[in-house]
A = this chain, B = another copy of it.
Amino acid sequence: MAEKRLYHTVANQILELIDSGVFPTGSRLPGERDLAKKFGVSRVAVREAEIALQAQGRLEIKVGSGAYVLDGSKGSHNGLPKVGPFELTEARALFEAESAALAAPIITDDAIAELENYIGIMSGKVKSEMTPDDADAAFHNAIARATNNHAIIFVIDSMWKMRKEAAQLQKVYRCVCEKDSSHREDEHQAILTALKNRDSSAARQAMRAHFTRMIEALLEASEEEAYQEVKRQASESRSRYMLAKQLS
């Protein structure tokens, strides 16, 4: 929690008070002078902290009135929305399939070798400092890069970041991944084979199958245990998923 600049620690203290519900969304913060006294720092430090929070979109400062807490739930600090596991996987199924299809005809041999390496890391056959999860991310990112399309690269990266963000999502994914790590390897291999053959349709199909299986695993996991929140989302998304499956 100790930061380099004083205003960082102050900003974090304010953030904590916001997250703990002391300052709910929409409420007005105490004046700069009060906060300075409360935190035992100068008014300038509080001011800089509030400016930084404003730049992050967490506060709105009105002159002569005060600083107000903005809704930090969506479009939070890095501009990414918070998404549920189902909708994210659904989106990835669609977009990554197109990414792979576009990459297939033009992927280089170097990129193919890179993908093989990542599969090796994920299966544990190749030792590396990368975690299997990092290798998984690198695998999908490398395919996006193979499209040579910066917009596509951005989209794929963004979705991976969304996945990394939600702590809850992390748990669910970890569970699903551990359970089906062998499936995952086969599926990645199938994707690689399709790319090796420069077969667009096969690549699209393999990538869709990869995520379709993941959605099924998520559905299964949502039946178990304490995934109540996921369960709620599951009921919302299941019908859509079934429909989406038809048009694969």
Contact = CB atoms under 8 A, between A and B. Distances in A.
Interface of A: 4, 7, 44, 47-48, 51-52, 55-56, 63, 78-84, 87-88, 90-92, 94-95, 98-99, 101-102, 105-106, 148-155, 158-159, 162, 200-201, 239-240, 243-244, 246-247
A149 B90 contact: yes
26 contacts: A7-B51, A48-B48, A51-B52, A52-B52, A55-B55, A78-B79, A80-B154, A81-B150, A82-B150, A87-B149, A87-B152, A90-B149, A90-B151, A90-B152, A91-B152, A92-B151, A94-B102, A95-B155, A98-B98, A106-B243, A148-B240, A149-B240, A151-B159, A155-B159, A158-B158, A200-B247
This chain's copy number in the assembly: 2
A25 to B, nearest CB: 19
A159 to B, nearest CB: 6
Nearest to A163: B151
Q: Which of A82, A98, A159 has the most CB of B within 10 A?
A: A98
Nearest to A62: B4
Contact of A79 (B48, B79, B84, B90): B79
Contacts of A150: 81-84, 87
Contacts of A90: 102, 149, 151-152
Contact of A101 (B83, B240, B247): B247
Q: Rank and list the top 5 A-B pairs by shortest CB-CB distance, nearest first.
A: A91-B151, A55-B55, A94-B98, A87-B149, A200-B247
A134 B228 CA distance: 40
Contacts of A158: 154-155, 158
Contacts of A48: 47-48, 51
Given A47-B48, A90-B152, 11 more contacts: A51-B55, A55-B55, A80-B154, A81-B153, A83-B154, A87-B148, A87-B152, A90-B149, A91-B155, A149-B240, A155-B159
A51 B7 CA distance: 10
